[in-house]
Amino acid sequence: MTDSTAVQHDAPPIVACTISRDVQIFDLLIEDMEAALGDAWGDLSFEDAVAFLGQKEARSLQFVTIAMDANDEDNLPLVSEVIAVAKSVGIKVILIAEDVSPTALHQLLREGGDEFVPYPLPENELARAIERVLTAEPTPQHAPGDKQFNASGDHSGVVIPVHGIAGGTGATMMAVNMAWELANIDKDEPPKVCLLDLDFQFGSVSTYLDLPRRETVLEMLTDTESMDSEAFMASMLTFEDKVHVLTAPTDMIPLDMITPEDIGRVIEMARVNFDYVLIDMPSTMVEWSQTVLEMAHIYFAMIELDMRSAQNTLRLKRALQSEDLPFEKIRFILNRAPGFTDLNGKSRVKRLADSLGISIDVLMPDGGKPVMQSCDHGAPMAVGIPKNPLRKEIAKLAKSMHDVNQAEAEARA
C-alpha cells in the first residue's frame, strides 16, 4: 500500500521586508524583491513595522526596504522611528524614494539609512544595493613599509577648485594631474595633497585613478556634524601613497542633498589636514557652489575656444557679479589652446577674452589621444606619458603655484 500523504515543505524563512504606506504603489519594487528573494520576504506598513521589528521573530531579517514618496514626508517621524528600531537590532535599511525632497532624504540617511535607491528602480539596482548592504566593506590593508598619513589638524592648506565651464573641457583631468604634480613637487619634503570629487552624480576621479568607490563616502557626507579628522581620513583612499582621494559616492545622489554647511565642514577638514586641497567640481552651479568659491584661494575655470565656453562664461560672470560674489578669484584656463605658431588661433583667443571681459591666464596645449588613454588607464600623465606637452604645462603650473605658496609662507614666518 503506497503512502499518499502529501509531503509538506517548510516555507522559506523571511529574510527581508518591504515597509511602506502601501506596497502596491511600488509595483516595480515587488517585482525586484521577488526576483532577488523569491518568497523569502514580506511586507509591512509603517505602523506594523515599529511593533514587529522589536519582536523576537524579526531577528531573522537581514534587511528592510523602506519605500516612500512625497506623500510620506508628513510622516517622517514615524519613518525615522522605523529606521531607529531596525538599526537597534542590527537590520540594514535600504531607502527607496520617489519625489522625496533632498532635505528629507538627507535626514533619513543621517538617522541610519544604509543605502538609497531612486524609484522607479533602475535595472538591477536593488539587487546591487542588497549585495552592498549585506557585504561588509573590507578594512584597507597597508603593507609593511607603506607610508601612512595620520590626521594632524595643524595645516593651513590651499584650496583649489577646478570647474569645467562646459562639458569635456578637461576639468577632472586637470584636477587629477594637478594633484599628482603637487604631491611630487618636492622629493625631500613632499606636500600633503588631497583630491575631493564633489561631482556626486557623474564624478570620475575614481576612474582616472583606478580607485574603487566606497560606501563610507556617503555616510560621511550625510553626517558631517559628527565628523572628526579620523572619520574624514577613513573615508578616503590613497593613490600610490601620495594623494588622498575622496571619491564620488557609489550611487548618484541629488547634488542639493548635501548642504552648504556639509561642504564647508568637509573643505575645512581637508584644509587643516593637507597642504593642498584640489576639488573637482560639478559643471552645474548648486547652492553650495558659493561656499566652495568663498573658501577657495584660487578657482580654476576650464574653457575651450568654442561658443559653448563663451556663452557659459558670460552666464557665470553675470550670475556671480549680480550676487556680489568674488568673481576675481576665478582664473580661466584655456584647454586645447592654439599652438605657438598658430597666429590666427592666438588672435581668436585674444578676441574671446576681450569680448567676455576676462583674462585667460593659462593656455594648455592639446595633448591628443594619449591624454584620454592615460585617463582610461587610471594613471596620471606623469606616470604614463611624461613627455606629453599637456603634462609638461600642468607640471609648470603646479611648480609656479607651489613656489608662490612657499614664498608667501616664508614671508608670514
Residue-level pLDDT at 10: 57
Q: What is the rounded average pLDDT for all residues in the chain?
A: 88
What is the predicted pLDDT for the residue at 253? 84
CA angle 98, 99, 105 (to 5 degrees): 85
pLDDT at 146: 42
Query: 66 forms bridges with which residues in the sheet?
Result: 19, 95
User: Could you tell me which of 193, 247, 252 has the C-alpha nearest to residue 220?
Assistant: 247
pLDDT at res. 113: 85
Predicted TM-score of the model (pTM): 0.74
CA distances from 224 to 112, 153, 228, 396 (A): 14, 16, 8, 36
pLDDT of residue 3: 46
Helices (H) and strands (E) in the chain, counts: 16, 13
Q: Are 208 and 291 in contact (CB under 8 A)?
A: no
Grid cell listed for 146: 607603506
Please give the pLDDT value at position 344: 86
Looking at the predicted structure, is the pLDDT value of residue 1 above 60? no
> In angstroms, what is the C-alpha Rg of the chain?
25
Lowest mean pLDDT among 78-87, 106-115, 136-145, 318-327: 136-145
**Amino acid at the residue 313:** T
pLDDT at 4: 44
* Total residue length of the chain: 413
| pLDDT band of 339, cuts 50, 70, 90 | confident
d(CA 179, CA 192): 10
What pLDDT score does 141 carry?
A: 46
Query: pLDDT, tens digit, for every residue of 273-308?
Result: 999 999 999 999 999 999 999 999 999 999 999 999
pLDDT at 20 over 90: yes
For the segment 130-158, the average pLDDT, to the nearest whole number, is 62
Which is higher by pLDDT, 137 or 107? 107
Judged by average pLDDT, the poorest of 89-93, 112-116, 245-249 is 112-116
For 158-208, the three-class secondary structure string (H helix, E strand, C coil) is EEEEEEECCCCCCHHHHHHHHHHHHHCCCCCCCCCEEEEECCCCCCCHHHH
Q: Of 253, 216, 243, give the one whose Cα is nearest residue 231.
A: 216
Strands 276-280 and 193-197: parallel
